[in-house]
Amino acid sequence: MPTIIDNVEVRLLDQLSAFIGSAYQVKACIGFLNLKGWRALGGLIESLVPYPQDPPCKVLIGIVDIERGIDPALAAGHRTDGEQARHYRKTMLELLCQQITRGIPTESAQSALRMLSAQLRSGTVQIKLHTRYPLHAKLYLIKRPDHITPRIGFVGSSNLTYAGLYEQGELNVDVVEQDAAEKLDHWFDQRWNDPFSLDISLDLADIIDQSWAGEPIEKIEHLPYLIYLKVAYHLSENARLGQREFEIPPDLRRILLDFQIAAVQLAAKLVKHNGGVILADVVGLGKTLMATAVARVLHEHTSSSTLVICPPKLQQMWDEHLDRYLRHPASAHARTLSIGQVERELGSLRRFHTLINDES
C-alpha cells in the first residue's frame, strides 16, 4: 500500500530527505517553483553523488503561474511554436525575477538563492521550462544505487515551494513498485528532452547574481541611496522581528498609538534577547504606559513578575497603571517600591523577572 503524504501526519520534505541522502539523482516536474523555498531542498541536493553524464538534479517547470494563470492560447489546447516558446521563456524569467524582489530580503533567503546560483552554474542543478502545452504535473523521482528499489517516486499535488513540501495541506503518494516508477522516469525524460522544453539555468543564475541576493562584485561603486537602504534595513531588523514575535494585548492595543505599539514590541524583544533596554522618549509621549505595556507583554509571554522602582511622588501613578493594565490578569504579580525604600526593603523581597527603573 502506498504512503499517504499530506503534510499533516507525513510531510513530503521529510520523505524526500530520507531518501536523497543515498541518491545520485533527483528529478522534479512541478507546475510552480518558489525560488526562496529552494532552501528546503538546496542543501540536500549538495549531498548527491552524480553519474558523470547527467545533472544530479533536474527540475522541469510547467508553464503555469499562480497569479496570472495559464496562457489562454495554451489553455485552449493550441500547440506552441518557436516564437511562442521564446515568449513564454521570457515571461517566466520575468516572473522569477519578480519573485526575488518581493518580500523581506532575509539572510536565509539570500543564502538559499546564492546556493541555487552556484548549483546552476556548476551543473549540479539544471532547470528547464516546459512550453509545449500546460503542464501542471507534480512528480518527484529519486534514483539511487539500490538493487531492490533503484527508483522511488512521489506523485500528487505539491509544488516545489516550502508550503508545498512542508506546511500546506497536500495529497501525495509514494511510488515504490519498480515497474510504475520506471514508467514515471520514462514519462519525465520524454518531457525533459522535448525540443520545446527550454533550459533557463544560466539565465536564472544571472538574475540571482544581479539581484540583492548576488555575491558582492569587487570595485563596484554603490550609490549612496542603496547604502542608506542597506543600513536602514539592518537597523530596523530588530523592530521587524519584535513585531512578529510579540503581540500586544487587545485592551492595550486600543489605547496605544502606532508608534507606541512599535516601541513596545521592539523594547520587549531587546529585553528578552539583550537583558534590558532604555526607553528614552521625550516628555509627554507616554513612557509610563509603554513601560507598563512592555511588562504586560513579557508577563503574557513568560509569566514574569514585575517590580517598579520610582521616585516617591510617582509611586501612586505607577500603582494606578499596574492596577489597570498589569495586575488584573489573575496570575500577574507586580509591585512598586520608592527609591527611598530600596536600601531597606529590596533585600527581603521575592525575586522579580522584570525591573522597571523610573528616572534612574
What confidence tens digit (pLDDT) does each residue in 199-211 have?
A: 999 999 999 988 8
Contact 142, 152 (CB under 8 A): yes
| Average pLDDT of span 31-58 | 79
268 phi/psi in degrees, rounded to 5: -65, -40
Grid-cell match 521564446, residue found: 86
Q: How far is CA 95 from CA 90, 92, 204, 207, in A?
A: 9, 5, 11, 11
For residue 192, the surrounding DSSP H or E stretch is helix 178-192
Specify the 3-state DSSP secondary structure of 61: strand
| Average pLDDT of span 325-350 | 80
**Does the structure show a pLDDT above 70 at 83?**
yes
Half-sphere exposure of 233 (CA within 13 A, CB side): 12
Lowest mean pLDDT among 93-107, 153-167, 235-249, 313-327: 235-249
Predicted structure pTM score: 0.60
Contact 37, 63 (CB under 8 A): no
Residues in CB range of 222: below 8 A, 6 or more apart: none
**Does the structure show a pLDDT above 90 at 101?**
no
Structure confidence at residue 13 (pLDDT): 92
**Does the structure show a pLDDT above 60 at 191?**
yes
pLDDT per position as a tens digit, 118-136:
999 999 999 999 988 888 8
Contact 196, 168 (CB under 8 A): no
How far does CA 332 lie from the centroid of its chain?
34
Amino acid at 30: I
